[in-house]
Amino acid sequence: MTELSKTGAAVGEPTSGRQAPEAFLEVRDLKVHFPTDDGVVKSVDGLSFSLEKGRTLAIVGESGSGKSVTSQAIMGLHRLGTRGKNVRMSGEIWLDGQELVSASPDEVRKLRGREMAMIFQDPLSAMHPYYKVGDQIVEAYRVHHKVSKKVARARAIEMLDRVGIPEPAKRVDGYPHEFSGGMRQRAMIAMALVNNPELLIADEPTTALDVTVQAQILDLIRDLQKEFGSAVIMITHDLGVVAEIADDVLVMYGGRCVERGSAGEVFEQPQHPYTWGLLGSMPRIDRETSERLIPVKGSPPSLINVPSGCAFHPRCPYADVPKGNVTRTVRPELEQVSTGHWSACHLSAEDRERIWTEEIAPKL
Ligand SMILES: Nc1ncnc2c1ncn2[C@@H]1O[C@H](COP(=O)(O)OP(=O)(O)OP(=O)(O)O)[C@@H](O)[C@H]1O
Ligand code: SF4
Ligand SMILES: [Mg+2]
């Protein structure tokens, strides 16, 4: 993740030009809105970040904060099927010099699978239940490579082997239901990686798996990333996963980024009251979790009637600390709090420091 691009996009400002960025992936002021009978759902509402190859960005945030919609927008999946009928999207998504928001569905389809691929929580959302696993990997490969079925089958076996599926030459002819949950997840990863994508988005890839398999899958993603030098976006509810795998962390709230920085900074010196709450509410691999998981009080914001000012203000214990009514009237923009570390909150540096050291850190 770069700090501040030449256009300033990384701080969340809209950009006027459409200049290709230097970063491998750069998302600029992305908005994904869904008009519904009840009003416009602002699932993603002005999100900017960038990511370099070889790095892993974790996106964290409560349910409904816009994590999956963001990844679907990058992959061009929001335009598919009935979902795509009613989506309004603006901003820019640059992948390796190509802008995707204005690209045709055909152009994005060409990139999907080859330049970018996604793994999901539920492998069956990516795999067809009635086709052999190997045939699906073969198909995924042949979409982008003009090779014979035989060559593609050899590639499928190689990939199944690579992701740790035993007897790959035999399992290649199995159906998804003949695989265990963990093995099915591996097979989906094999399919996602068959074309060596440069960007891999993993949306809660291990949530449904038991702890041992989870750890194996994370190792696998990390190894494959090292091997191929891909950029990875990891969406997760589990801070243990973040601590294990992420270089950078982006915290989403109500369709926007409220804090981002290196994983070390966000864990050790978190700046935003919502991140403080999140750190207390999410499991961590390095702590005894049972007694200290305290959910963030209150409910996630409506994405149709987003609270005025800071969207977190109805739940924030410190909403009255900044002078005047600023937290309820003025939306805080991302500001750099230290090198590479950004937070969107009206608290002064002194107040943040005081609250963190006196109230928050001792309890975490
Ligand atoms: N096609 C759609 N039409 C209307 N609203 C939608 C649509 N797709 C997503 N949303 C809404 O956008 C919001 C963000 O959804 P998203 O799936 O990105 O959340 P998330 O952060 O991935 O949550 P979770 O952690 O539960 O997976 C949700 O309130 C969701 O209901
Ligand atoms: S801007 Fe105000 S309400 Fe929002 S997180 Fe900061 S202190 Fe809390
Ligand atoms: Mg999701």
Question: What does the pLDDT read at residue 10?
Answer: 41
> Ligand 1 pocket, 284 CB below 6 A?
no
- Is 86 in the same domain as 186? no
Question: Closest ligand to 317 CA?
Answer: 2
For residue 167, report the distance from its CA to the centre of ligand 3, in Å.
Answer: 33
- Is 75 in the same domain as 217? yes
Per the domain annotation, does 121 fall within a domain?
A: no
Question: Closest ligand to 74 CA?
Answer: 1
- Is 171 in the same domain as 311? no
Per the domain annotation, does 148 fall within a domain?
A: yes
Point out the domain boundary residue: 136, 164, 196: 196
- Is 25 in the same domain as 163? no
- Is 212 in the same domain as 332? yes
Question: What does the pLDDT read at residue 239?
Answer: 84
Indicate which atom in ligand 1 lies nearest the CA of residue 69: 18
- Is 167 in the same domain as 301? no
Indicate which atom in ligand 1 lies nearest the CA of residue 255: 14
Nearest protein Cα to ligand 1, atom 16 = 66
- Is 328 in the same domain as 227? yes
Per the domain annotation, does 258 fall within a domain?
A: yes
Question: Closest ligand to 67 CA?
Answer: 1
Low-confidence ranges of the chain (pLDDT < 50): 1-16
Question: What does the pLDDT read at residue 2?
Answer: 42
Per the domain annotation, does 309 fall within a domain?
A: yes
Q: Which of 32, 40, 47, 69 to mutate to test the pocket of ligand 1 (most atoms within 8 A of CB)?
A: 69
Question: What does the pLDDT read at residue 80?
Answer: 62
> Ligand 1 pocket, 303 CB below 6 A?
yes
> Ligand 1 pocket, 256 CB below 6 A?
no
- Is 209 in the same domain as 263? yes
- Is 146 in the same domain as 62? no
Question: What does the pLDDT read at residue 194?
Answer: 92
> Ligand 1 pocket, 83 CB below 6 A?
yes
Whichever domain contains 236, its CATH number is: 3.40.50.300
Point out the domain boundary residue: 158, 173, 196: 196
Note down the domain range covering 158.
126-196
- Is 236 in the same domain as 325? yes
Point out the domain boundary residue: 154, 169, 196: 196
In three-state form (DSSP H/G/I as H, E/B as E, the rest C), the secondary structure along the chain is CCCCCCCCHHHCCCCCCCCCCCCCEEEEEEEEEEEECCEEEEEEEEEEEEECCCCEEEEECCCCCCHHHHHHHHHCHHHCHHHHHHCEEEEEEEECCEECCCCCHHHHHHHECCCEEEECCCHHHCCCCCCCHHHHHHHHHHHHCCCCHHHHHHHHHHHHHHCCCCCHHHHCCCCHHHCCHHHHHHHHHHHHHCCCCCEEEEECCCCCCCHHHHHHHHHHHHHHHHHHCCEEEEECCCHHHHHHHCCEEEEEECCEEEEEEEHHHHHHCCCCHHHHHHHHHCCCCCCCCCCCCCCCCCCCCCCCCCCCCCCCHHHCCCCCCCCCCHHHHCCCCCEEEECCEEECCCCCHHHHHHHHHHHHHHHC
- Is 12 in the same domain as 107? yes
- Is 90 in the same domain as 225? yes
Per the domain annotation, does 47 fall within a domain?
A: yes
Nearest protein Cα to ligand 1, atom 10 = 43
> Ligand 2 pocket, 313 CB below 6 A?
yes
Question: Domain tally for the chain?
Answer: 2
Nearest protein Cα to ligand 1, atom 7 = 34
Per the domain annotation, does 120 fall within a domain?
A: no
